Structure 1
C-alpha cells in the first residue's frame, strides 16, 4: 500500500518498469538458452534503458546494435558480447566501433569488401543475408518486403566473400508468436543458405521471435534451434527485444480534460506521436488497464498534441472517467523510450523501475532545459 501511495505522488506521464515482470520473461529466456544452446543478445533498437541492465545482464550474453551509439552503450553499460550492425557504415563509423565490438556485421558485400581490412584481427566479421521470406504483419517492418535494402539476397551472393566471413545474420521475423511458422522459415533458410553456413562459426537468426508470449512452445523452439546448430556446426544467436520486455511496463497518464463531439474523448497528458510512436505508425491501438470489454462508458483516448489523429485507442469503462484520474497504458516498453521526442514540446515521461522489494527507483526525468538544448545551444557574450 505504501508503494501504491508513492506511485500516486509521481508526476505523470511516466513509464513504470516492473522488475518482477521483467524477471519472469528473463527466466523463460534462460530456459531457452539451456535447452537449445543458443546465445541471446539484447536488441538495443527496441530497448536501451540501461538503468535496468543490472536485471537483464545475468540472463543474456550481450547486446546487438544498429548504430555506433548503440554499440558504445552496449559495450559500456551491458558488457558481454557486443555485436555491431548497421545498414550503412561510414569509414569513421567502422573506426569508432571496431575496437569495442566482438562481431561487426555488414549489410552489403560492397561494404564488406571496402572495410574488412579495418576489422580483421580485431572483431569477428559478419554479413547480413536476406532469405526473401519473413513473418511480419506490417509491411513497414517486413525485412523481406519488395526492393528490401536489408541484407544480401541469395541470387546476389558472391561465394568468394565467405572466405572473409566468420558468420552471418538473418533477420526475418517481427513479433512472430507462432513457433511452427518460425520452424518453416528456419527450414527455408537452411535449404537456401546451408552450404554457406557450413563454412562459418556462427549464425544469428535475428530478433522478432516472441518466445515469451503466453502459450509459446519454448521446448519445440529449443529442439529446432539445437538441431539447426548441430546440422551446420555453428553457434546460434537470437536477438530478442520485445520478447524480453513485453508486458513489463506501463505508461502512466492523467486525464486532463473530457470533450465531446458525437463521442466523448478523454484528453491525456501524453501523446502517441511523442511517447508511443509505434501506436501511430502501425495503427495498433494501445490497451488500458482500467478499461472493460463490456464497459458502459466509451471514450476515445486522445493525446494532448495538436495532431488531429493522435490517439491511443477507443476504450470502454464500467464507470465514467473523471478529470484528474490516472490510467495505465500497458506493454509500453518496446520501441517507446528509444523513440521519445519533443513534438509539440510535450513533457517527456519520467522513467521509473519498481524493484522486487517494492521500492520505486527513478531512472531518468526530463525538463524544460532538456527540450531547450535539443535543437540549439549557444553562449551569450
Structure 2
C-alpha cells in the first residue's frame, strides 16, 4: 500500500507498480488463450517509462497523430494509426511508421490510398449502437463525425483489408457482445473480404466484476465463425485501471457561506480535466462522496478558474493544512490531458514499487516557457 507521506513532492502522479503488473498479466493471458490481438492506445496513458513492460504484453500500439506514432514506434513492433482526419504534411511519415492505417471517411482513403507504402488500410465504420451515457464521449451520438454510416458504404473499396469500430467507454462484456453482433448485422456482408476487425477501446477487462467468461465466449464464437479475421481490441484504460493515484497537499481551508473548501496544490482543470468535462467526482482515499442532499467538504483546485473544484466529501477526520489527499485511479486519461493553465506546473510523475518511491519526471519553468512562444 502506497504511503502518501513518503511522496517527496506534491502534486504527483504515482504509478503503483504491483497493480500495474497484475493488469498486464490478465491482458496477456486473455490474448494468449483467445488468439486475439490486444493493442495499447497511447491516447489513454502516456507514461513511456513503462512502455517497455506494456510492449511485452500488447502486440502493438495505436496512434492518432504523428507524434503518437513516433513515440509508439520507439517501443512497439507494430503501430496502428487512426485519426478522424490526417494532416497532409504528416501522412507520409505516419505511413512509414505504421503497419495499419484506418481512415474515417471514404474521401480520406481516396486522398491517401496511393501513399500507404506497406501499411494495411482499413475503414472506421459506425456501429450505430449508443453505449455511452455521456454524449461528450459517445462516438455513436446523433450526427457523429466518427465512422462511415452503413448506408454510405455500399461496397468495400479496393485495397481495404479491415474495418474498425469504436463505441464503448469503460464498458463491460455485454456491451462488447452487443457491439460485435451489431457490427456483423450492419457490415457482415464485407466479412468475407476483410482479414482484420478492430473493436476499438473501452473494453475494461481489468475492472473488478468484468465478465471475462462472456468476453472469452464471444471472441471464441466469432473466431470459429470467421477464422480468417483477426479480432483486435485497443484499450487504453484497461492497462492502467486502478493502478495509480494523484497525491496532493492541503494548502489552505476557505469557508464561504457555510461551505468549507480544502484548497489543494493541484488543479482539476489543469491536472484532472475529466472531472469537469464528464463530469464526475473522483474517489479520495479515506473519504466518502456525499449522497444527494448531504452536505460536506469541497475540494478546491489551485487555478483561478471559478469552477475549479469538486465536492461534496465527508471525512472521518477533517483534514488539516499540510495533510495529503490521495485521488484514486488517476493513471488513465489524466497525464495525457493535463494543461499548464495559469502557468501551473505539471505534477511530478513517479513509481511506487516494493515500498520505495522513485521520481521519474519533474517539470520545470522551461517546460512551461517552451510550450509556447
Report if TM-score (shorter chain) is over 0.5.
Answer: yes
Q: Which residue is 1:141 aligned to?
A: 137
- Of 216, 229, 252, which aligns to 1:234? 229
Q: In 2, are the aligned partners of 1:32 and 1:219 still within 8 Å (CA)?
A: no
Q: In 1, are the aligned partners of 2:61 and 2:72 still within 8 Å (CA)?
A: yes
- Of 36, 45, 48, which aligns to 2:46? 48
Q: Which residue is 1:8 aligned to?
A: 6
Q: Which residue is 1:165 aligned to?
A: 160
1:96 Cα shift? 1.3
1:127 Cα shift? 1.0
Q: In 1, are the aligned partners of 2:283 and 2:289 still within 8 Å (CA)?
A: no
String of CA shifts for 1:326-350, please: whole Å, max 9, x gaps.
Answer: 1100110111111111111112101
Q: Distance in 2 between matches of 1:142 and 1:9?
A: 37
Q: Which residue is 1:248 aligned to?
A: 243
Report SS of the residue matched to 1:183.
Answer: helix
1:229 Cα shift? 2.9
String of CA shifts for 1:273-314, please: whole Å, max 9, x gaps.
Answer: 100110110110111012146999931011111111111332
Q: In 1, are the aligned partners of 2:168 and 2:175 still within 8 Å (CA)?
A: no
Q: In 2, are the aligned partners of 1:137 and 1:174 still within 8 Å (CA)?
A: no
Q: In 1, are the aligned partners of 2:132 and 2:169 still within 8 Å (CA)?
A: yes
TM-score computed with the length of structure 1 as normaliser: 0.92
Matches within 5 A, 1:83-98: 83-98=80-95
Q: Distance in 1 between matches of 2:87 and 2:318?
A: 55
Q: Which residue is 2:299 aligned to?
A: 301
Q: In 1, are the aligned partners of 2:290 and 2:313 still within 8 Å (CA)?
A: no
Q: Which residue is 1:195 aligned to?
A: 189
Q: In 2, are the aligned partners of 1:105 and 1:127 still within 8 Å (CA)?
A: yes
The list of structure 1 runs, each at least 4 consecutive aligned residues, that deviate by more than 6 angstroms after superposition, is: 293-297
Against the structure 1 CA distance between its residues 319 and 297, is the aligned structure 2 distance closer, same or farther, given a 3 Å change threshold?
farther
1:84 Cα shift? 0.8
String of CA shifts for 1:138-195, please: whole Å, max 9, x gaps.
Answer: 101101111111111100014141x211111111111113x22321221111111111
Q: Which residue is 1:218 aligned to?
A: 212
Is 1:152 paired with 2:132? no
What is the count of residue pairs matched by the alignment? 369
Is 1:323 paired with 2:321? yes
Q: Which residue is 2:56 aligned to?
A: 58
Q: Distance in 2 between matches of 1:349 and 1:67?
A: 24
Report SS of the residue matched to 2:101.
Answer: strand
Q: Which residue is 2:23 aligned to?
A: 25
Report SS of the residue matched to 2:296.
Answer: strand
1:351 Cα shift? 0.2
Q: In structure 1, list runs of 5 or more residues that go unmatched.
A: 377-381
String of CA shifts for 1:109-156, please: whole Å, max 9, x gaps.
Answer: 11111111111x511111111111131121011011111111111000
TM-score computed with the length of structure 2 as normaliser: 0.94
Q: In 2, are the aligned partners of 1:265 and 1:300 still within 8 Å (CA)?
A: yes
- Of 245, 267, 270, which aligns to 1:271? 267
Q: Tell which deviates more after alignment, 146-155 or 311-320.
A: 311-320
Q: Distance in 1 between matches of 2:290 and 2:113?
A: 60
Q: Distance in 1 between matches of 2:69 and 2:221?
A: 31
Q: Which residue is 2:366 aligned to?
A: 369
Q: Distance in 2 between matches of 1:294 and 1:300?
A: 10
Report SS of the residue matched to 1:314.
Answer: strand
- Of 76, 87, 96, which aligns to 1:99? 96
Against the structure 1 CA distance between its residues 297 and 256, is the aligned structure 2 distance closer, same or farther, given a 3 Å change threshold?
farther
Q: Distance in 1 between matches of 2:336 and 2:21?
A: 21
